[in-house]
Amino acid sequence: MQSLFLLKVLAILAAVILLIYFSYSLAKKGAFRTRDEQKSLIRIMEYQRIDNKCSICLVKAGSEYLLMAITPNHVSLNPVKVGNNDAASAIEQEIAAQKSYGQS
């Protein structure tokens, strides 16, 4: 009777040890990481709605930044140099273009 109890305790202990081992190995491989923690090549840096149909977002693809304009019928990508006045003027031009597109 005691040997049966001892066998059950050992089986439970072995199952717990295996569970800890597998969870540790999965965590080490990165299976529990969220998408933000993983290195991805494409990332949305900023997103701005212009109106209920149009929006723009700044996308980082590798080392390049792209300004993406999204409307119900059109998506455009424009390369942008971030960190200078060229980026600000490109964003202002894209917002103006999207506003005029949304009104027509």
For the chain, the domains span 1-38, 42-103
- The whole-number average pLDDT for the span 83-103 is 66
With beta carbons less than 8 A apart as the criterion, state whether 65 and 57 touch.
no
* Ramachandran category for residue 30: left, alpha or beta (phi over 0 → left; psi -120 to 50 → alpha): left
Predicted confidence (pLDDT) at residue 48 exceeds the cutoff of 60: yes
Compare 89 and 57 and report the one with higher pLDDT.
57
- The whole-number average pLDDT for the span 69-74 is 87
pTM above 0.85, yes or no: no
Predicted confidence (pLDDT) at residue 80 exceeds the cutoff of 70: yes
Predicted confidence (pLDDT) at residue 103 exceeds the cutoff of 60: no
Sheet bearing 55-61, strands edge to edge: 42-49, 55-61, 64-70, 75-80
- Mean pLDDT, the chain, rounded, equals 78
pLDDT interval class at 2 (50, 70, 90) = confident
21-32: pLDDT as tens digits:
988 887 777 655
